[in-house]
Structure 1
Amino acid sequence: MSSLSRQELTARVFVEWEETRRSLRECVKKVLLNEGVRDHRVWGTIHAYCFELMKRLRTVDAFLEATIRNAKLFDLDPWVRNALRVGTFEMKFNDVKPAIATNEAVKIVVECVGEGPARFVNAVLYDVERLELSDVLNRAKDTVERLAIEYSHPEWFVKHLMDLLGENELTKLMDANNREPERYLRVHAHMVDPDKAILALEDDGVAVEEDPDLPFMLRVVDHDVPPVRTEPYRRGWVAYQDKASAAAAYALRPEPGDRVLDACAAPGGKSAYLYALTEGEIELTCVDVNPRRLREMRRNFRRWGIEARLRRADSSRLYRETDETFDLALVDPPCSSSGAYVRAPEAKWTVKWRHVKRYARGQLSILRGVAPLVERTLVYSTCSVTVVEDESVVRRFLREFDEFEVEEPFGFGSPGFDSWMNERYPWADRVRRFWPHRHRTEGFFVARLVRS
């Protein structure tokens, strides 16, 4: 068991994240395993603490940028920078007395860097203590920067979404992104009767309610133990899946006997829901380009009782590599994850606006690689809220593949945007968007494209 404090473990996680840019969950796992932490309660505490700091990172950094003199925050030693972040977060967002927060940060730097940098940390946090958030916000050059600091979101996100939603609704969205997300569980109806799964969860201390829109989806209402510690979860009867993610799969409307392609399948959640919807009565082919994620999907499918063909391939070239056709195909390609900030706040700080445009090019390329293989219906979805990756990609796809038309996937959710810049989307009321502040889900986009 590690003797390191919560603060030092957190600083180690953030140093690891800066070096690798892997997911926060993976970084927490690596650090805690390296430190010999085995208690799952400690894991939960450290992950939750890191999660909250990551959500507030832009605001925390703004406090530091307002106080550091003769240096730039990102030029500092990583241990110094992240000890300062932990100390600032402690006193400004975690109600820790400034003297205690400063002392913990100084101890981290003494241990990992040395006495000289520790004196610097002490001086900076002394100044941070005397700053209020209003002082930091008053330094912003314009409304976009002020909102980005106050709600801890990237400036490109604030600018893009303010143009689409207006400032009032944008602040509601960003506030929702900084709150605890709703938790949903998917029931593997091919393995267990849903009522039996619900009773078993309740016996283990997890209260759930059935979703009104989607079969086999449960919202976690309350829990005495985390759902992952329950017998239904261990047996593979249930698994976490956001409602909006499940809705993307539901939009395919699979029927028994259908040949179904999931073109960007790993780690397999949407494929699993398609399988559950038909109680396993589909021919499922799952493709992904990433071998590590394919291995993870294979392990998941064994636990979840799913039979499928798994194939490593680049779906943008799929039509050139196979003569096989499919009744239905789901394309949920890599994206900016700008709709997933509520669950993966690290995505805020790893994607820039230029990356969004690059993602859009890749998304269209995958649609081109899959569309010729689809005989009936193609669903395109992303966990992005940018028009660039959503409506604009669909518009470009329809111009190239005019044999497809947009069909409304279901009645719940919100319609898409009907215009952006100089583009028009006359079918916007037939695509669906999900928003954290409106629907208690991740931000998601779903378009059902039917071959006419």
Structure 2
Amino acid sequence: MTINIRALAAKCCYAVIDKGRSLSDELPKQQDKLLGKDKGLLQEICYGVLRYLPELENDVRHLMQKPLKGKQRVFHFLLLVGVYQIRYMRIPDHAAVSETVSATSTLKNRHMKALVNAVLRGFLRTQEAASKLENKTDKNLPDSIKYNHPSWFIKKIQQSYPEQWQGILDANQQRPPMWLRTNQQHHTSEQYQALLIAAEIDIANIEVNSQAIALAHPIDVAKLPGFEQGWVSVQDGAAQQAARLLDCQPNDVVLDCCAAPGGKTCHIIELTPDIASMTAIDIEEGRLTRVHENLARLGLTAKVITADAASKDWWSGELFDRILLDAPCSGTGVIRRHPDIKWLRKADDIDKLVILQQQILDNIWSLLKPGGTLLYATCSVLPEENCQQIARFVEQNQDAQLIAITGNNLDTDENSIGWQLLPDAKNMDGFYYAKLLKLK
């Protein structure tokens, strides 16, 4: 039996939106049923539907007498899959409609064939007129449809970044760039750039502080020179700032909290191979598999422990010179990489996350040596999790001193509470860093 990609996409989007499952978990399950380029096509459709969900649902809503409910909900997402293809993909309209209609058989409900066919053909007939009408009435559409984000999140971003909010929302809708991190134990960044040029792989830009390399177009990692030999890793330019800012020294005893999937753990060791030890902990044992895989590919060694950073049950009693706390957060800085975050994250999650971050910060601070450094990091753009969190911590801990993060090409100053990167600023993910010194 032929596998219908649109049916798999509908199942995947249904699992994310109606069942609250992660796209990172659901997409690979469906991709395992496919070969070659079909995996990429499935990803494109799923990511696209989740990026433009409110807009697509608005399109479908106008073409139906009543919404689909219960067991028919998967066909609601099949309709969104069809409309997304027509609106945003280069697939010919007739092929998009035909393949989407065929998916009704794969989803074992031939009775829905007529409805899916009617809605998609109705959308085709009215697309040009609807587009003109939308342009005229665009100001009357809810912001959630205009910007394809949940209303609560739009309001938070507007309040926090009154001059930049539209740029942030727009950046969240873009396809993410592919950034590379050169393993300095094998090549300098300049040497690896030469290898990329020789392999005819186009470079978009170089991040001046960390020498992270952004490619002009994403490619299969197998095409990267020396990937299997550990010469290079894929890691966003913002995440690559962590190892640089932590600034480990020879013989340091280092802890990486919430370490999975291990990119920052490996980067720290690459930059300072003569640290005394590296301990990487994460509460989810399954995610630590990726840490072990990354360490093995890069030929690096670390002590990897399944542990809760909010407790001391795992701790041997040895204090650390440097601690990286990549705190659990809303993930609102990496929406372009994980568009399901927009729909899985809820407004009341933020307060709960802030409390968890406080608990972890307070616990981990007690494991740091006097004179030691803690680097707090999140992939969030929300001040509650970032500058407000650190301001509270410094105020409540007299032995904590904020270290200013300044340098070449940084959009911060000495009076900033940490460094907030926004996803529209440097073509990097939204990220936050704050560096704390533990006074003697």
Using structure 2 for the length normalisation, give the TM-score: 0.89
Determine the C-alpha separation between the residues in 2 that align with 1:348 and 1:68. 25
Counterparts of residues 189-338 of structure 1 (less than 5 Å) = 189-208=184-203, 211-221=206-216, 225-318=219-312, 321-338=315-332
Determine the C-alpha separation between the residues in 2 that align with 1:138 and 1:215. 46
Aligned: 1:58 with 2:80: no
Tell me by how many angstroms 1:20 deviates: 6.2
Q: Conserved in 2, the CA contact under 8 Å of 1:188 and 1:272?
A: no
Partner secondary structure for residue 316 of structure 1: coil
Determine the C-alpha separation between the residues in 2 that align with 1:59 and 1:314. 40
Tell me by how many angstroms 1:7 deviates: 2.6
Partner secondary structure for residue 74 of structure 2: helix
Runs of at least 5 residues in structure 2 that lack an aligned partner in the other structure: none
Partner secondary structure for residue 186 of structure 1: strand
Partner secondary structure for residue 261 of structure 1: strand
Residue 66 (structure 2) aligns with: 70
Determine the C-alpha separation between the residues in 2 that align with 1:193 and 1:125. 53
Aligned: 1:431 with 2:430: no
Name the stretch that deviates more: 47-56 or 374-383: 47-56
Show CA shifts across 1:347-382 (max 9, x none): 111101111211111111111110011121111111
Q: 1:187 to 1:97 in 2, by over 3 A?
A: closer
| Residue type of the alignment partner of 1:450 | L
Determine the C-alpha separation between the residues in 2 that align with 1:293 and 1:221. 30
Equivalenced residues, count: 433
Tell me by how many angstroms 1:154 deviates: 1.6
Counterparts of residues 34-49 of structure 1 (less than 5 Å) = 35=33, 37-39=34-36, 41-49=37-45
Q: Conserved in 2, the CA contact under 8 Å of 1:413 and 1:433?
A: no
Q: Conserved in 2, the CA contact under 8 Å of 1:62 and 1:136?
A: no
Determine the C-alpha separation between the residues in 2 that align with 1:116 and 1:273. 54
Give the one of 82, 91, 94 matched to 1:87. Answer: 82
Determine the C-alpha separation between the residues in 2 that align with 1:276 and 1:216. 14
Tell me by how many angstroms 1:309 deviates: 1.0
Tell me by how many angstroms 1:5 deviates: 4.2
| Residue type of the alignment partner of 1:441 | M
Determine the C-alpha separation between the residues in 1 that align with 2:150 and 2:434. 26
Name the stretch that deviates more: 44-53 or 92-101: 92-101
| Residue type of the alignment partner of 1:31 | Q
Partner secondary structure for residue 122 of structure 1: helix
CA-based RMSD of the aligned residues comes to 2.8
Name the stretch that deviates more: 406-415 or 334-343: 406-415
Q: Conserved in 2, the CA contact under 8 Å of 1:66 and 1:136?
A: no
Tell me by how many angstroms 1:217 deviates: 2.1
Runs of at least 5 residues in structure 1 that lack an aligned partner in the other structure: 417-426
Residue 436 (structure 2) aligns with: 449
Show CA shifts across 1:54-79 (max 9, x none): 211222122223433333x5656242
Partner secondary structure for residue 265 of structure 1: coil
Determine the C-alpha separation between the residues in 1 that align with 2:132 and 2:154. 19
Determine the C-alpha separation between the residues in 2 that align with 1:428 and 1:84. 51
Name the stretch that deviates more: 122-131 or 384-393: 122-131
Q: Conserved in 1, the CA contact under 8 Å of 2:7 and 2:107?
A: no
Tell me by how many angstroms 1:328 deviates: 0.9
Residue 398 (structure 1) aligns with: 394
Q: Conserved in 2, the CA contact under 8 Å of 1:256 and 1:281?
A: yes
Q: 1:212 to 1:442 in 2, by over 3 A?
A: closer
Determine the C-alpha separation between the residues in 2 that align with 1:282 and 1:209. 37
Partner secondary structure for residue 13 of structure 1: helix
Residue 109 (structure 2) aligns with: 114
Determine the C-alpha separation between the residues in 2 that align with 1:374 and 1:389. 21
Residue 408 (structure 1) aligns with: 404
Counterparts of residues 333-348 of structure 1 (less than 5 Å) = 333-348=327-342
Q: Conserved in 1, the CA contact under 8 Å of 2:390 and 2:417?
A: no
Residue 177 (structure 1) aligns with: 172
Give the one of 73, 86, 96 matched to 1:101. Answer: 96
Q: 1:319 to 1:136 in 2, by over 3 A?
A: farther
Q: Conserved in 2, the CA contact under 8 Å of 1:190 and 1:280?
A: no
Determine the C-alpha separation between the residues in 1 that align with 2:260 and 2:339. 20
| Residue type of the alignment partner of 1:400 | Q
